[in-house]
Amino acid sequence: MSDLPVPGAASERPRVAVLFGGRSSEHAISCVTAGSVLEAIDRTRYDVVPIGIAKDGRWVLESGDTGRLAIAGPDRLPEVDGSLPVLSVAHDGEVGEMLVHEQSDGRGALGRVDVVFPVLHGPYGEDGTIQGLLEIADVRYVGSGVLASSVGMDKHYMKVVFEAAGLPLLPYVVIGDRQWRLQPEQCREAVDALGYPVFVKPCRGGSSIGISKVASRAGLDAAVEEARRWDPKVIVEASAGHGAREIECGVLEGFGDAPAETSVVAEITVGADRDFYDFAAKYLPEESTRLDVPADLEPSVAEEVQRLSAAAFEALSCEGLARVDFFLLPDGRLVLNEINTMPGFTPTSMFPTMWAASGLAYPELVERLIQLALRRPTGLR
Ligand SMILES: Nc1ncnc2c1ncn2[C@@H]1O[C@H](COP(=O)(O)OP(=O)(O)O)[C@@H](O)[C@H]1O
Ligand SMILES: [Mg+2]
């Protein structure tokens, strides 16, 4: 017990729990992000509680040692230490706040938490499940709610919602688990109709994990099986094509009734040695990925990206923040690739970089997200 921070007694500062790690393949990235967020939160305004979710799903009270959360190389990825004191989360109906208990002796309440910053990517984090837990616990949190988080995580339903909103997309085929097991030939024919190359992806993945570019029918089965290692539901998309450009834009919810704001538009160019923006290109520092912020685009194209980004945010009823990713096709058409409701969030990640270039520095961005969350009630809204 003596290791636990003393609950709220000394201050009336809002208590922010930074929740990170988690059970998804993006565990390490989440740790890296949490390190940056923990450093950026203004300790004169908030009390901070770092809560790690170990790979096995246990919640632990982390030390908040941000040095330990950095990436040290391809085989030196940070991880939540599952041997730390285990926590359980309970809802106190009377005070309407989340109480975090140290499980070992059952009595030590870590105290009230006013707002949670779930710095979690992927399944069990960015997909609405944590958001649902926090709704039940009646605790406010940063970012999108249950529905937007889960739709944003699922590349299949994301496209269904985007299509219904009239947003431009590339053609795609969804291969469910039963279909692949019972009617693989029909699945292959549907993919053939898209025309090769295609991109084969786990529907609910991230960080490019499990994604392959497939040049012909011969490589399809292996790519589907690789995607199925991560998710039984697979999506196959037509390629944006040779010479297509990758464009991104940040969206932030407005305060009160103000409309969502969009950042400057950015471009990602992967090195010639890479087929696409894969895990290494995204996270390993020695890679030759180039980020242009702002992107070199005609003003009218950049404005269209911003308009479509705000429309995508709206289509899913997102809250807080989102990054919207596009392809600018060789023929000049813009199509949406995806929306990320908890985008990469280290100071050098795209989302914060785009906002910094728009005049909102990293600590201010963190502050804004916490303020938006503190003002937003849980429940139907
Ligand atoms: N249809 C496509 N055409 C061309 N490149 C693609 C396509 N889909 C994905 N990619 C490449 O793969 C990367 C990862 O795909 P994405 O759908 O964004 O998955 P993730 O959610 O893992 O980021 C993209 O950034 C892009 O480089
Ligand atoms: Mg992506």
Is residue 152 within 8 A of residue 339, CB to CB? The reply is: yes
Domain's final residue, options 192, 223, 238: 238
Q: For residues 30 and 41, state if they share a domain.
A: yes
The pLDDT confidence band at residue 173, using thresholds 50, 70 and 90, is very high
Is residue 188 domain-resident? yes
Is residue 267 within 8 A of residue 245, CB to CB? The reply is: yes
% of the chain residues with pLDDT over 90: 62
Is residue 88 domain-resident? yes
Q: For residues 368 and 297, state if they share a domain.
A: yes
Q: For residues 340 and 288, state if they share a domain.
A: yes
* CATH code for position 94: 3.40.50.20
Q: Does residue 154 have its Cβ closer than 6 Å to ligand 1? A: no
pLDDT tens for each residue of 89-131:
666 555 445 556 565 554 455 667 889 999 988 777 788 999 9
* Beta bridge mates, 202: 234
Average pLDDT over residues 236-256: 96
pLDDT at 285: 63
Is residue 98 domain-resident? yes
Q: Cα(201) to centroid of ligand 1, in Å?
A: 8
Return the residue whose CA atom lies nearest to atom 21 of ligand 1: 206
pLDDT at 107: 47
Return the residue whose CA atom lies nearest to atom 1 of ligand 1: 239
Average pLDDT over residues 173-190: 97
Q: Cα(200) to centroid of ligand 1, in Å?
A: 9
Q: Does residue 211 have its Cβ closer than 6 Å to ligand 1? A: yes
pLDDT at 218: 96
Q: Does residue 341 have its Cβ closer than 6 Å to ligand 1? A: no
Residue 152: nearest ligand to its CA? 1
Return the residue whose CA atom lies nearest to atom 25 of ligand 1: 277
Q: Which of 29, 151, 231, 277 to mutate to test the pocket of ligand 1 (most atoms within 8 A of CB)?
A: 277
Q: For residues 188 and 262, state if they share a domain.
A: no
pLDDT at 1: 34
Q: Which of 377, 364, 162, 169 is nearest to 263 (CA)?
A: 364
Q: Does residue 239 have its Cβ closer than 6 Å to ligand 1? A: yes
Q: For residues 181 and 322, state if they share a domain.
A: no
Q: Cα(339) to centroid of ligand 2, in Å?
A: 8
Ligand 1 atom closest to Cα of residue 244: 4
Q: For residues 218 and 310, state if they share a domain.
A: no
**What is the pLDDT of the chain when averaged over all its residues?**
88
Q: For residues 233 and 246, state if they share a domain.
A: no
Q: For residues 340 and 256, state if they share a domain.
A: yes
Residue with tokens 């096709």: 329
Domain's final residue, options 186, 216, 238: 238
Q: For residues 279 and 222, state if they share a domain.
A: no
Separation between Cα atoms, residue 294 and residue 284, nearest integer Å: 22
Q: Does residue 64 have its Cβ closer than 6 Å to ligand 1? A: no
pLDDT tens for each residue of 325-364:
999 999 999 999 999 999 989 888 999 999 999 999 999 9
Is residue 162 domain-resident? yes
Separation between Cα atoms, residue 17 and residue 88, nearest integer Å: 14
Q: Is the pLDDT of residue 9 over 50?
A: no
Q: Which of 337, 340, 342, 350 to mutate to test the pocket of ligand 1 (most atoms within 8 A of CB)?
A: 337
pLDDT at 324: 98
pLDDT tens for each residue of 189-224:
999 999 999 999 999 987 788 999 999 999 999 999
Contacts of 339 (CB under 8 A, 6+ apart): 152, 158, 312, 313, 316, 318, 322, 323, 324, 325
Number of structural domains found in the chain = 3
Q: Does residue 248 have its Cβ closer than 6 Å to ligand 1? A: no
Q: Does residue 203 have its Cβ closer than 6 Å to ligand 1? A: no
pLDDT at 251: 98
Return the residue whose CA atom lies nearest to atom 8 of ligand 1: 199
Instruction: Give the helix, strand, coil percentages of the chain, each rounded to 5.
Output: 30, 25, 45
The domain in which residue 313 lies consists of 151-169+242-372
